[in-house]
């Protein structure tokens, strides 16, 4: 061995060794990252997880459209009809019903579980509705909306609109927590701090307790080409849904031009049941649920004449009053608004 070469050989060996250690470390890191990504569960049902979105803005209540001067809809009309009975209301009544509103600033009460959930696939099969499929056969919605949903899907099947895929329906809070935590983990893995990851996650997966899917009144529907993307709005099926959903008591909950009001990106696949006459009033007034509830609350009530010629009185009350007056001789329904109020809808009110 040539001892004169020793320092050089040690240096060469050390360099090679450093590269080897560095290479090993790099390989280990890549393997770890790959494993973590592989282990990360897929999220096929979370509409919000499949798309990237700009940060959601604060819910603004100011941008309420001016009421139509047409006779079909008038705001601030008090219900003065006589022949009424008093119906007791409890605090819980304000937090349930077909008009309950859920959003980032208004979560559902702790432990909220909708009553009367029914299986969608069983109904679709029993009624032999063609061209409808779902990603899971265990999906449920509230029983009160199943009839109108089935009617809508049956009518759609006559229109040659291709297959309807139900991608998501009722989701409990625990499942929403899974979706949300997955998103936080993914962002944290991408290099964000925990705080940054949580902030970013909230813009694409709604925070547990603030998902409308937890009400059992909501579905995500799309065709087999667009999946849950904005492209669905351009499909024949998506356009039929946007045009026709109100006739069956559904609204498109997150329209493109109302992002600043709802705080949620455009979701042409996400429909929400509110029933009649509310779906028609919202559709014809171009109101989202936030604007409709705010109009009722600020004016105390509206009167509307729907396309079928019926006249409706819709009144808003603070649930804390403990009782509301309802007509003895006309059909009526009551729903909470999710923020301490109740809405009483009377069919056949005097025009």
220 binds Zn ion (CB under 5 A): yes
CB-based closest residue to Zn ion: 270
182 vs 270 by CB, closer to Zn ion: 270
213 vs 303 by CB, closer to Zn ion: 213
Considering all CA atoms of the chain, what is the largest pairwise distance in Å, rounded to the nearest integer? 115
**Residue span binding Zn ion (CB under 5 A) among the ranges 8-16, 42-50, 178-186, 313-321:** 42-50
| Closest distance of CB 235 from Zn ion, Å | 17
Q: How many residues bind Zn ion (CB under 5 A)?
A: 3
User: Scanning residues 172 to 191, which ones bind Zn ion (CB under 5 A)?
Assistant: none
132 vs 304 by CB, closer to Zn ion: 132
241 binds Zn ion (CB under 5 A): no
47 binds Zn ion (CB under 5 A): yes
223 binds Zn ion (CB under 5 A): no
206 binds Zn ion (CB under 5 A): no
272 binds Zn ion (CB under 5 A): no
79 binds Zn ion (CB under 5 A): no
Phi, then psi, of 196 in degrees rounded to 5: -60, -40
Which of the residues 212, 267, 290, 291 is marked catalytic?
Answer: 267
With CA atoms as reference, report the closest residue to 229 among 162, 186, 167.
167
Contact with Zn ion (CB under 5 A): which of 270, 272, 278, 303?
Answer: 270
205 binds Zn ion (CB under 5 A): no
**Does 122 qualify as catalytic in the annotation?**
no
46 binds Zn ion (CB under 5 A): no
337 binds Zn ion (CB under 5 A): no
280 binds Zn ion (CB under 5 A): no
Judged by the rule CB under 5 A, the positions of this chain that interact with Zn ion are 47, 220, 270
Active site residues: 267
């Amino acid at each position: 061995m040539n001892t004169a070469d020793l320092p050089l050989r040690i240096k060469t060996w050390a360099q090679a060794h450093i590269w080897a250690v560095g290479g090993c470390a790099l390989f280990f890191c890549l393997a770890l990252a790959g494993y973590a990504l592989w282990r990360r569960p897929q999220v096929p049902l979370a509409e919000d997880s499949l798309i990237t979105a700009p940060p959601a803005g604060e819910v603004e209540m100011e941008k309420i459209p001016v009421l139509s001067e047409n006779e079909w809809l008038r705001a601030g009309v008090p219900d003065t009809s006589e022949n009424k009975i008093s119906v007791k209301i409890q605090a819980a009544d304000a937090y349930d019903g077909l008009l309950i509103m859920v959003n980032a600033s208004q979560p559902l009460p702790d432990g909220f579980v909708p009553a009367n959930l029914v299986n969608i696939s069983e109904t679709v099969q029993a009624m032999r509705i063609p061209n409808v499929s779902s990603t899971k056969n265990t999906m449920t919605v509230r029983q009160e909306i199943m009839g109108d949903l089935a009617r809508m899907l049956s009518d759609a099947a006559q229109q040659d609109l291709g297959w309807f895929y139900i991608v998501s329906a009722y989701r409990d809070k625990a499942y929403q927590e899974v979706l949300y935590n997955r998103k936080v983990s993914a962002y944290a893995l991408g290099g964000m701090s925990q705080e940054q990851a949580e902030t970013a996650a909230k813009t694409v997966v709604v925070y547990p307790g603030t998902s409308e899917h937890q009400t059992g009144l909501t579905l995500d529907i799309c065709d087999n080409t667009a999946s849950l993307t904005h492209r669905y709005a351009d499909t024949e099926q998506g356009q039929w849904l946007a045009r026709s959903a109100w006739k069956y008591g559904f609204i498109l909950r997150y329209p493109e031009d109302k992002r600043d009001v709802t705080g949620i990106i455009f979701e042409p696949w996400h429909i929400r049941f509110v029933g009649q006459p509310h779906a028609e009033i919202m559709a014809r007034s171009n109101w989202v649920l936030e604007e409709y509830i705010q109009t009722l609350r600020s004016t105390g009530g509206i009167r509307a004449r729907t396309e079928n010629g019926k006249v409706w009185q819709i009144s808003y009350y603070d649930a804390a009053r403990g009782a509301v007056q309802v007509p003895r001789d006309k059909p009526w329904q009551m729903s909470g608004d999710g923020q301490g109020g109740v809405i009483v809808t009377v069919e056949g009110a005097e025009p």
